[in-house]
Homo-oligomer: A and B are copies of this chain.
Amino acid sequence: MSERGERPTLEAVARLAGVSRATVSRVVNGSPKVAEPIRAAVRRAVEELGYIPNAAARSLVTQRTDSIALVLPESASRVFSDDPFFPSIIHGVSQELDAADKQLVLMMTNTVGGYERVERYTTARHVDGVLFASTHGVDPLPGQLHRQGIPVVVSGRPLGRSAVPYVDVDHIGGVRKAVRHLLDTGRSRIATIAGPQDMVAGIDRLDGYRAELKGSDRRSIVAVGDFTRESGAAAMRQLLEDDPLLDAVFVASDLMAHGAITTLRELGRRIPEDVAVVGFDDFDISRFTDPPLTTVRQPILELGRELARQLLRVIGGEEVPASVVLPTELVVRASA
């Protein structure tokens, strides 16, 4: 087991075990057609030398790398401030890849030349497949890779036409439950703080709000933020200017909801007595706001896992559905 620089090769194992390289390769890769005594001898030699296969040599011939790329195309600040969205995605993806014994290569397109780097790296087939998290607007790269026959799965329904399989959550269903809850609890002036309208998550959540409101006689009152706390605070201020008498607000993200709560506090509104607040995400932190936030829970960890599972299926040559949509649910706490 003691290794000093010189790593043992298949050749060395073969020599020690008194067999050919091919046979060692068979044993290492678990081929069933090796007689038991020989298999045991090889195993012993492997153990004794501390042999570990050379991945580069293996990839060279198998054309597999046993690693997959997770591309985070968001702007730097968004990806890793205190928004736990991407960390959860990473975590979920990692869990499934670990189980499949694949490596996770993390790539960001937010740095200088990041996009080109990702393009070069992925088209070069340095990975067996590529996962895209939450694309903004219309990103041509996933489709491009897909057309080149590289396994790709994206998170979030892509804007525009796309043949790339995706995994998303039921934004609209979740939002409708939230708005319905506000209606059912007697709120009459229900506003919304929407997310960025170049992202499906932003668009769908606004659509859900409008759709559920349409059934009632309430009019919609809309402000737009960018999913950050600051934008939520600003949007809330705007909404109160537009309609000082509003008594409820559905906010398209928890972080924005926190911002909105801060603003409501500053302007002397009680929550939920004067204004009911519902968020979207169910981040951990939302259980600790004052008051605890009623919100729409989306299963982010599960989203990451499903993403990885779909990709592994594509890589394995299985057929996968064009889309998988995970359920969302309303979590009622004190804010609404």
Which A residues are within 8 Å of any B CB, using their own CB? 3, 5, 7, 52-57, 59-60, 65, 67, 76, 79-82, 84, 86-88, 90-91, 94-95, 98-99, 101, 103-108, 111, 113-114, 117, 120-121, 123-126, 148-149, 229, 258-259, 262, 265, 283-285, 288, 290
Closest Cβ of chain B to A229, distance in Å, is 6
Q: Is the CB of A80 within 8 A of B76?
A: no
Select A258's contact among B56, B80, B288, beta carbons within 8 Å: B288
In the complex the two chains form, what is the Cα distance from A67 to B90 in whole Å?
18
In the complex the two chains form, what is the Cα distance from A307 to B193 in whole Å?
40
Closest Cβ of chain B to A233, distance in Å, is 9
Q: Which residues of the other chain, B, contact A105 by a CB distance below 8 angstroms?
A: 67, 103-106
Q: Which residues of the other chain, B, contact A117 by a CB distance below 8 angstroms?
A: 98, 101
Select A86's contact among B87, B113, B290, beta carbons within 8 Å: B87
Q: Is the CB of B106 within 8 A of A94?
A: yes
Closest Cβ of chain B to A263, distance in Å, is 11
In the complex the two chains form, what is the Cα distance from A101 to B111 in whole Å?
11
Closest Cβ of chain B to A55, distance in Å, is 5
- CB nearest to A57 among chain B residues: B60
- CB nearest to A65 among chain B residues: B56
Closest Cβ of chain B to A285, distance in Å, is 5
When A60-B56, A86-B87, A88-B80 are in contact, do A149 and B5 touch as well, CB less than 8 Å?
A: yes
Closest Cβ of chain B to A149, distance in Å, is 6
In the complex the two chains form, what is the Cα distance from A79 to B98 in whole Å?
16
Q: Which residues of the other chain, B, contact A99 by a CB distance below 8 angstroms?
A: 111
- CB nearest to A55 among chain B residues: B126
In the complex the two chains form, what is the Cα distance from A114 to B87 in whole Å?
18
Q: Is the CB of A82 within 8 A of B148?
A: no
In the complex the two chains form, what is the Cα distance from A154 to B106 in whole Å?
19
Q: Is the CB of B87 within 8 A of A103?
A: no
Q: Which residues of the other chain, B, contact A123 by a CB distance below 8 angstroms?
A: 3, 52
Select A80's contact among B3, B52, B90, beta carbons within 8 Å: B90
In the complex the two chains form, what is the Cα distance from A76 to B304 in whole Å?
14
When A53-B124, A103-B105 are in contact, do A284 and B90 touch as well, CB less than 8 Å?
A: no
Q: Is the CB of B88 within 8 A of A114?
A: no
Between-chain CB contacts (< 8 Å), 14 pairs: A54-B124, A55-B56, A55-B126, A60-B60, A79-B87, A80-B87, A82-B82, A82-B283, A84-B84, A84-B87, A90-B90, A95-B111, A98-B108, A105-B106
In the complex the two chains form, what is the Cα distance from A159 to B126 in whole Å?
38
When A56-B65, A98-B114, A262-B288 are in contact, do A121 and B106 touch as well, CB less than 8 Å?
A: no
- CB nearest to A96 among chain B residues: B111
When A53-B124, A103-B105, A258-B288 are in contact, do A111 and B91 touch as well, CB less than 8 Å?
A: no
